[in-house]
Structure 1
Amino acid sequence: MNDQMNTESAAHDSIKRRLLDAYQFRHAVKDFDPGRKISSEDFDFILESGRLSPSSYGFEPWKFVVVQNPELREKIAAHAGGARRQLASASHAMLVLARLPHEMVADSDYISYMLNEVQKLPPDIAEMKRGTYDTFLRTGFALQGNERAMFEWACRQTYLALGNMMTAAAMIGIDSCPMEGFVKHEVERVLTEEGLMDAGRFGLACMAAFGYRAGEAPAKTRRAASEVVEWR
């Protein structure tokens, strides 16, 4: 028993060290090495960490669009001053979309699809969950009826997936950079014209670039734990 406990404890310590090492490794890379490409296997692993991420009620209000076409990246970069360097050099560029408010209301076709086809809930349980969700939207967070708040709520959930993808990448030595430096409506127009986004169902939440850094990372700076965490 003691040997098993010691083995489990050592394994836990190893996982904790690897995870904290990954957070120390990760930083917002501005310039990637354009000559180094992420393997398909590794990027599939990163995407899977996003797909398996948590979301409110498990409704997954996201879509990940991976843009590898250089000409399309240039079109996006024309309206993304804060992402030009990354779009030009990253191995993989991702646009993270969030579902629009009418897609996320309790009686929408999308929510019905999630309850019935994805989560495969029995009809009575599905309707109970739909009712709970409707109450949450109307009185819990009081989101329904406020289009901006509703969309931003969906966007916040996409950041859970994005954070997991960046952590997964860092765990295997791949760099990343989350990006919001873009003109939203212009990039959305490009995506719609290119057939990459259904503007009636999605909006752009954020971008992310993945690859390998082209130089040394700056020293990581963070506030002390005593400033961030408070116990009572």
Structure 2
Amino acid sequence: MGTLKTNETNAEVKKEILSAFEFRHATKEFDSSRKISDEDFQFILETGRLSPSSFGFEPWRFVVVQNPELREKLRLHAWGAQKQLPTASHFVLILSRQPKDLAADSSFIGGMMRDVQQLPPAVAEGKQKVYDTFLNDDFGLRGNERAQFEWGARQTYLALGNMMTSAALIGIDSCPIEGFDKEKIEQTLEAEGILDREHFGIACMVAFGYRIHEPRGKTRQTADQVIQWV
């Protein structure tokens, strides 16, 4: 009986999760009169903070932009967020660490292993060597700073996906955004005293709120087209 109950519960959970994926769409314009509660948005942020990252080094920072004047300044250089920036309840810039911070011998990586992961010195030393080999030999990132930054940015997309899914599970809409001038956005944030470009660059943006228009039906390739069993 216990197993049957578990199976029934699992089926309900799976149905709920798939329903959230069907619900989620890239919302282009939000109902500006509706605001996400503090409790709900803290939940969304927490799912980002708890997300996995390569080697557990968490190369991200989440900047929540609620200031209307700053949003308008960003809109000048974010062609993909023209409707989202003025109407979203919450707007998040996801930053990624710069290559200097992601180097195996950086103070950031050392601090993560020592202070956050609380690894014994010998274990940290071994992990540092494995990580250095991974970056420079396995992934061939040595000497390519743009590729190193993009590798860090890929980690931030794990947090991005988890935040959008968790939002959908509680009926909140979202839209991931890459349509912006990276250089000009970073210059704007630096001028505002928000971004230290020596340590961070922008990876992506994401808007949260409540839809004002119902979306068209979801379109996706079939499972046979995207899944290969070998």
Q: TM-score range by the shorter chain?
A: over 0.9
Deviation at 1:144, TM superposition (A): 2.3
- The list of structure 1 runs, each at least 4 consecutive aligned residues, that deviate by more than 3 angstroms after superposition, is none
Partner residue, 1:199 = 197
CA distance in 1, matches of 2:171, 2:99: 37
CA distance in 2, matches of 1:204, 1:196: 11
Partner residue, 1:210 = 208
* 1:73 equivalent in alignment to 2:75: no
Matched residues, number: 230
CA distance in 2, matches of 1:190, 1:68: 15
2:83 counterpart SS class:
helix
* 1:30-50 CA-partner distances (Å, limit 9, x unpaired): 010000000000000000000
Whether the 8 Å CA contact 1:73–1:87 is kept in 2: the answer is yes
Letter in 2 for 1:13: A
* 1:133-163 CA-partner distances (Å, limit 9, x unpaired): 0110111111121101100000111000000
Letter in 2 for 1:99: R
Aligned mate of 1:44, from 42, 45, 49: 42
1:204 counterpart SS class:
strand
TM-score between the two structures when normalised by the length of structure 1: 0.98
TM-score between the two structures when normalised by the length of structure 2: 0.99
Partner residue, 1:139 = 137
CA RMSD of aligned residues (A): 0.6
Partner residue, 2:148 = 150
* 1:57-113 CA-partner distances (Å, limit 9, x unpaired): 000010000000000000000111111100010000000000000100000000001
How is 1:74-113 mapped onto 2 (pairs within 5 angstroms)? 74-113=72-111
1:144 counterpart SS class:
coil
Identity of paired residues, percent?
Answer: 58
1:126 counterpart SS class:
helix
Gap regions ≥5 residues in structure 2: none
CA distance in 1, matches of 2:148, 2:53: 14
Partner residue, 1:63 = 61
Gap regions ≥5 residues in structure 1: none
1:207 counterpart SS class:
strand
* 1:166-191 CA-partner distances (Å, limit 9, x unpaired): 00000000000000111101010111
